[in-house]
Structure 1
Amino acid sequence: MSRAPTSPARRRFLGHAAGTALLLGVLPGGAIVAAADAAAADAAAADAETGADFVPNAFIRIGTDGRVTLVSKQPEIGQGIKTSLPMVLAEELDVDWQSVRVVQGDLNPIYGSQGAGGSTSTPTNYDNFHRLGATARALLVRAAAQTWNVPASACRTENGTVVHGASGRKLGYGALVRAAAALPVPPAADVVVKAPATYRLLGTRVGGVDNAAIVAGDPLFGIDTRLPGMLYATYVKCPVLGGRPVEANLDAVKAMAGVKAAFIVEGTENLNGLRPGVAIVADSTWNAFRARKKLQVAWDEGDGAHHSWSGFLAQAHAASGQPGAAIMRKDGDVEAALAGAARTVESNYFYPFISHASMEPQNCTAWFKPADGTLELWAPTQNPGAGQALVSTTFNIPKDKITVHITRSGGGFGRRLSSDFIVEAAAIAQKVKAPVKLTWMREDDLRHDHFRAGGFHFLRGGVDEQGKVVAWHDHFVTFANRVEKKENDGGTASVLQPGSGANLSGDEFPGRWLANCLIEQTPLECRIPMGPWRAPGSNVFAWVFHSFIDELAHAAGRDPIAFRLDLLGDKDLVAGTGERGVPYNVGRMRHVLKAVAEKSGWGQRKFARGQGAGVAFHFSHRGYVAEVAEVTVSKEGRLRVDRVVVVADIGAQIVNLSGAENQVQGSVIDGLSTLMYPALDIDKGRIVQSNFHDYPLLRMPDTPTKIEAHFLKTDYPVTGLGEPVFPPLAPAVCNAIFAATAKRVRELPLATTDLSWG
């Protein structure tokens, strides 16, 4: 993908647009505002052809020929948002989707938030996009009504035209754009969004707007970026996480053919920022990687050199025998409840650090221009605003001098919410007088990730004679980095901060549901960078809790679904801070749990030995999801997942049915892959694994034979889908394995567990 800086022709268009076009932007609070200045016009024309006649808002442009161009503002990482959000605009505009062109917008304040993570893109934009599209449609209708001298209420739209019902007169949007551009923004009360019953596009199956280009191998991704005179870089960091270079054979490296520069970057103490390293710049990526093999560095390995997974495991066992460092929840008297329980269960659940392992390695192209101090970035980022901010604070470059071009990402899963690869490229670019593309090797990507944190759960639970849970105790031993935090008096304090997804809320199910509950947490200090990993926290907590709940159901001699329904209780809401301050809607969860029992035929089939079904549910990122997995395990321990049934409640509307089904299928496959294989060993502060030969992922023959997706339409706000379906998969499969073999999986990855039976 190649994007040149703003051309003179484009600047002429911007001046024209600022004088004649009405632009609507979205404020962080959701308000739609008018902005008729050059900056707003630049946002509206981002990545588009010049010469448009009507730009009704920052996301819509209609030419005099009637062609509609829609700007997608969110980063596309494979979740389909580049298709689904423009679909909302197209629905409200009442245009033919096949005639619409979608372009990726760069980072610009007028677009509002532009991050892609936590399944937030849809819920934070859905209603606003309806209003933006409806506002633009209202302007076109009003322009037609004035042309015909009839009331706007007497007109309707269909397929890119305005129709006067009484006379049958029609005007295409292209013929109305100049008149519409001169009209003021209608009051919000005068803008009516479509009723869902009238939707013609939303809820249908629509292919991704980039599908054809992806199949053809066209340049779309960050790693495809090409600029005139571009150089290529690699960046070498200490094998020990948190270490720094002391000296290197830079002269020898610079003498190699094709090498343009080699230098040490001091970096910062921030594990999630610019880490110290050695940069090599060459005339090709191949020559940069070739020179890297000759690089010799003396490293200061730091305190991280003492880290090992075996050492962490020993620390966790020692901590489990002591009171937790922090109490996350304490209700009732757990010890007394356990002592009086009819049956008790004790189990330990462990999971390792893992990498994101997205298929496109981290990369960023940067172009620093000393003459005016500006920096231009091309990055496959999930969080362009955070990348811009990190570069700004690291190098003291004003944000308005940093342009971020958002490219398509070859997978994200939370990894590209971090901006270390962006700030590295920016550091290198300031040392060379040309645009430079930094590309990580696969080994860099695996060993210098912002990892999903490992964890250790030491659990105890009890049930009474009626098979009801009477006690729950979880001592969670987690991982934390030491960071400096500002205090109220202006000073700083050194504190341990658990990694992303490594902090257990006391509100996690089933904590708030039980009279006797103790949830403790003890952090292990480490120098391992941690960051968001698909469905942070939920991706492991669901496995731990719904596996242990299944143990309690078995101990109670009860059906696993009936046991869970009993745990949920009959209240509609369970109070508490919940996820993002949202109370837990028990009614919605009961609904999906009952629905998955019905859709899967739970309890209606007798399984032979070596076959079984398991169930799990989880509330994650505003979505309520339940899943049933059916498996077959051979006597030799070979696992086959025969069927996965998914029922999801993600609100009142499925935007793109094709995209939604794709998200469900992808989550199930990714969830099974993560359950089965990935694990990182740590020895002397180093990640032992290096590439896919020793960090395997699921292959096609091992994917589930059948995946069924069912969506419940409910009267709740529309939410995302990329995160919520992932967490229940692992416990559903592991519970099915127990049903098939009587073997519990209590340590990940599953590949390390002997499933043979006989």
Structure 2
Amino acid sequence: MTTTLPPSPSRRNFLRQSALGGSALVIGMYADGVLAAVSARPEEFAPNAFIRIDSTGKVTLVSKQPEIGQGIKTSLPMVLAEELEVPWRDVHIVQGDLNPAYGSQGAGGSTSTPTNYEPFHKLGATARTILVQAAAQAWNVSPADCHAENGAVVHAASGRRLPYGKLVATAAKLPVPDAAQVKVKNPADYKLLGTRIGGVDNLAVVTGKPLFGIDVQLPGMLYAVYAKCPVFGGKPKSFNVAEIKAMPGVKDAFIVEGTSNLNGLVPGVAIVATSTWAAFRARKQLKVEWDEGASAAHSWAGFAAAAQAAAKQPGTTMLRQDGDAKNAIAGAAKQVEAAYRYPFISHASMEPQNCTAWFKPASGTVELWAPTQNPGAGQALVASTFGIPKDNITLHITRSGGGFGRRLSSDFIVEAVAVAQKVGAPVKLTWTREDDLQHDHFRAGGFHFLRGGIDAQGKLVGWHNHFVTFANRVEREGKSVLQPGSGGSLSGDEFPGRWVANCLLEQTALECSIPMGPWRAPGSNVFAWVFHSFIDELAHAAGRDPLEFRLELLGDKDIVPGTGERGVPYNVARMKHVLQEVAEKSGWGKRKFPRGQGQGIAFHFSHRGYIAEVAEVTVSREGKLKVDRVVVVTDIGAQIVNLSGAENQVQGSVIDGLSTLMYPELNIENGRVVQSNFHEYKLLRMAETPPQIDVHFLKTDYPVTGLGEPALPPLAPAVCNAIFAATGKRVRELPLSKVDLSWS
């Protein structure tokens, strides 16, 4: 099966060249995604474009996306190096700062690879073409008789060879070739893409070199902490300022009024000291009188009771209504009813939030060093919060010690700037682990009240889901409205909504002041567990094989936008292919498992990726779970960029998905998070990870997609369906550690 790629932009809009003022060839990308040549000087250390080749032949590539552990700092430069025909060992990679010349620089939604893959091929191919033309000109031969290899241009007939460094001066003066002259490589000729390449920062990471935001050091730097009200929406009234200022190493302490109680500058108390240790020590002695506000009455138990009451009423928002689901279910041969729930959870990145800010009042400029996933949004928030022009804000992107969506928010950045403005010196603001856990932008909790109907032939004839979610009250266009949290709003197009003739999807939002934000594979990370667990319930109620039931439900017609259809395209053939492949690779249905062991299957389409997984588990009579093996089949397009990195992402998604299934839970009491640190917020340990994770990539004729998120959602339902196969017990509440899995 093939797909049609969008046509290439015209030469006028695609390639532009400015005069180059030195013996360095630099080709970059404008903010609108248009490839272009930009000028640079040979003495510049930090390039202002993606590709730099100096007169010594040194090739420097800029990685523009934030590196948060997804491997993009390695994989995108690999695309450039492939087209440039330079050996990987000879390439030097640097992290680019926030720069409009680089275009979009966010890292979220598994978009970095699909957004940049094709443009980066053209970028590298354009540079290679110019270098070949430069060599042909030097030899007075046709460019068609020359080719690039191993960092040089070779004339095939004579065997002459010119390394790139010798061609820079000539290449810099050549016009950009017509689009027709720029040929990207045939994938059959790739030497680098699809191979195993270790992360460019691996050695630095394992040897403790300073790479992360928390490692930043500047001359004369001060260190800060920032205490916020434990109740969401609260603010400080007063604190023991004299006592705190008198402590050793403390330089200042003050209240920041703040501008927002959600995603901006939250009110708090800042302590500035000569070291992080001194700031943390003073923080422990902080005594604040808080105005806790109305949210102090909120609790998870109260939310759960409100959800139960809401489920008995019609939803406040109708998401989808096809056919007559209620009557179809009522008249079905079998009816299945179930309620699923999951808690708020934290991102729990290993590196707590931090930012170093240097406000320079003489020039009215701010310089920032931040482990951010969304540097452009961080710059914009600083500009709007403090009235500083964007051009006066420099943001250096550091490596992040995990992100998972948390660092798409920029609250920690504006906190650092607020402190830096007050003290007039470089300031590194570091959150404590307790801050990070209790003042996260959390994955929203949720409640799903489901009903399904099966006819006499074992087919699904009706589906009803009343989703009770959480929302914040915000001002929008002068009106106060409820806005569901990220991942807390169900689309009417979510599987199996568009596949069931009689489908009713409705939603009710519970108002809260809990800040919510994207959590790895937003929405999909919990919706997949709910829907594919309930589909498994329906399959067993129908007396059908769970694989066969799913394949029948998918049908044979692609679901695409257009008249009578809504939402995003859904390629049914691709999904059925991964399902059939995972069944084959796992030996689905070919083994008879003893009681206490079982297989479970699930799939999900998320962030452009089609993924299916089979989990094999053992559950002891006492209820102890062991995940023995997970088989994953993925279809993410025509090319795996870095095989080592791709496997790492899939295996990491499986482990992260299992950890999230097993343990994390945040309880809300009196408007605040109860858990404070990892002794109360457990994550999966190495000994609990599956000993075998088999990863299989399907190479298909579709555009390349990302891998940071799509392999996570199917893990939880696959494991829970395997638990049912092993024990006969259904898991309808997370985390799994709360569920009694014992059997006899």
Distance 2:438 2:683 in 1: 16
> 2:348 matched to 1:357?
yes
> 2:35 matched to 1:32?
yes
Distance 1:666 1:464 in 2: 40
Alignment of 1:53-452 (within 5 A): 58-452=49-443
Q: TM-score, normalised by structure 2?
A: 0.96
Q: Partner residue of 1:512?
A: 498
Distance 2:21 2:430 in 1: 38
Native 8 Å contact 1:741 1:757 kept in 2: yes
Cα drift, residue 295 of structure 1: 1.4
* 1:671 aligned counterpart, secondary structure: helix
User: Deviation string for 1:307-366 (max 9, x for gaps)?
Assistant: 100000000000000000010000001121012211110000000000000000000000
Distance 2:177 2:402 in 1: 40
> 2:699 matched to 1:713?
yes
Cα drift, residue 62 of structure 1: 1.2
* 2:527 aligned counterpart, secondary structure: helix
* 2:203 aligned counterpart, secondary structure: helix
Cα drift, residue 29 of structure 1: 4.6
Cα drift, residue 28 of structure 1: 4.9
* 1:304 aligned counterpart, secondary structure: helix
Cα drift, residue 64 of structure 1: 1.8
Cα drift, residue 582 of structure 1: 3.3
Native 8 Å contact 2:341 2:734 kept in 1: yes
Task: Indicate which of 545, 554, 558 corresponds to 2:544.
Answer: 558
Native 8 Å contact 2:31 2:100 kept in 1: no
Unaligned runs of 5+ in 2: 1-17
Q: Partner residue of 1:645?
A: 631
Native 8 Å contact 1:507 1:576 kept in 2: no
Percent identity reads 76
Q: Partner residue of 2:620?
A: 634
Cα drift, residue 416 of structure 1: 0.3
Equivalent position amino acid for 1:402 in 2 = I
Q: Partner residue of 2:6?
A: none
> 2:598 matched to 1:598?
no
Native 8 Å contact 2:464 2:504 kept in 1: yes
Distance 2:288 2:517 in 1: 27
Cα drift, residue 16 of structure 1: 11
Cα drift, residue 129 of structure 1: 0.4
User: Deviation string for 1:557-610 (max 9, x for gaps)?
Assistant: 000010000000011334469999531111100110000001101011110000
Distance 1:94 1:624 in 2: 32
Cα drift, residue 475 of structure 1: 0.1
Q: Partner residue of 2:679?
A: 693
Distance 1:274 1:302 in 2: 17
Distance 2:462 2:319 in 1: 16
Cα drift, residue 50 of structure 1: 3.4
Native 8 Å contact 1:360 1:411 kept in 2: yes
Distance 2:121 2:319 in 1: 40
Equivalent position amino acid for 1:698 in 2 = L
Cα drift, residue 304 of structure 1: 1.3
User: Deviation string for 1:372-427 (max 9, x for gaps)?
Assistant: 00100000000000000000000000000000000000000000000000110011
Native 8 Å contact 2:533 2:720 kept in 1: yes
Distance 1:51 1:508 in 2: 49
Native 8 Å contact 1:360 1:409 kept in 2: yes
Cα drift, residue 190 of structure 1: 1.4
Indicate the RMSD between aligned Cα atoms, in angstroms: 1.7
Native 8 Å contact 2:626 2:688 kept in 1: yes
Equivalent position amino acid for 2:35 in 1 = I
Residues 1:572 and 1:604: Cα distance change in structure 2 (over 3 Å): same
Native 8 Å contact 2:19 2:173 kept in 1: no
Q: Partner residue of 1:521?
A: 507
Native 8 Å contact 2:29 2:50 kept in 1: no
Native 8 Å contact 2:24 2:52 kept in 1: no
Distance 1:712 1:342 in 2: 39
Equivalent position amino acid for 2:209 in 1 = D
User: Deviation string for 1:64-83 (max 9, x for gaps)?
Assistant: 22121111000000000000
Equivalent position amino acid for 2:542 in 1 = A
Distance 1:365 1:686 in 2: 28
Distance 2:289 2:62 in 1: 48
Residues 1:96 and 1:578: Cα distance change in structure 2 (over 3 Å): farther
Distance 2:341 2:30 in 1: 43
Native 8 Å contact 2:662 2:737 kept in 1: yes
Q: Partner residue of 2:665?
A: 679
* 1:316 aligned counterpart, secondary structure: helix
Task: Indicate which of 431, 438, 449 corresponds to 1:458.
Answer: 449
* 1:171 aligned counterpart, secondary structure: strand
Q: Partner residue of 2:481?
A: 495
User: Deviation string for 1:96-145 (max 9, x for gaps)?
Assistant: 00111111000000000000000000000000100000011011101000
Equivalent position amino acid for 1:380 in 2 = P
Equivalent position amino acid for 1:623 in 2 = G
Residues 1:578 and 1:279: Cα distance change in structure 2 (over 3 Å): farther
Distance 1:578 1:278 in 2: 54
Distance 1:72 1:93 in 2: 15
* 1:583 aligned counterpart, secondary structure: coil
Equivalent position amino acid for 2:631 in 1 = V
Distance 1:26 1:333 in 2: 52
Distance 2:562 2:496 in 1: 12
* 1:628 aligned counterpart, secondary structure: strand
Equivalent position amino acid for 1:561 in 2 = L
Distance 2:658 2:30 in 1: 39
Native 8 Å contact 1:468 1:556 kept in 2: yes
Pairs aligned (count) = 727
* 2:329 aligned counterpart, secondary structure: helix
* 2:422 aligned counterpart, secondary structure: coil
Task: Indicate which of 584, 588, 595 corresponds to 1:609.
Answer: 595
Q: Partner residue of 1:538?
A: 524
Equivalent position amino acid for 1:605 in 2 = R
Equivalent position amino acid for 1:619 in 2 = F
Distance 2:373 2:563 in 1: 27
Residues 1:580 and 1:712: Cα distance change in structure 2 (over 3 Å): farther
Distance 1:577 1:125 in 2: 31
Residues 1:79 and 1:582: Cα distance change in structure 2 (over 3 Å): same
User: Deviation string for 1:227-256 (max 9, x for gaps)?
Assistant: 011100000000101110011111221111
Distance 2:291 2:503 in 1: 45
Residues 1:340 and 1:51: Cα distance change in structure 2 (over 3 Å): closer
Residues 1:687 and 1:51: Cα distance change in structure 2 (over 3 Å): closer
Distance 1:51 1:238 in 2: 44
Distance 2:569 2:300 in 1: 37
Equivalent position amino acid for 2:706 in 1 = G
Distance 1:670 1:178 in 2: 50
Distance 1:466 1:144 in 2: 72
Equivalent position amino acid for 1:262 in 2 = A
Q: Partner residue of 1:723?
A: 709
Distance 1:735 1:18 in 2: 64
Cα drift, residue 179 of structure 1: 0.9
Distance 1:320 1:28 in 2: 47
Native 8 Å contact 2:249 2:275 kept in 1: yes
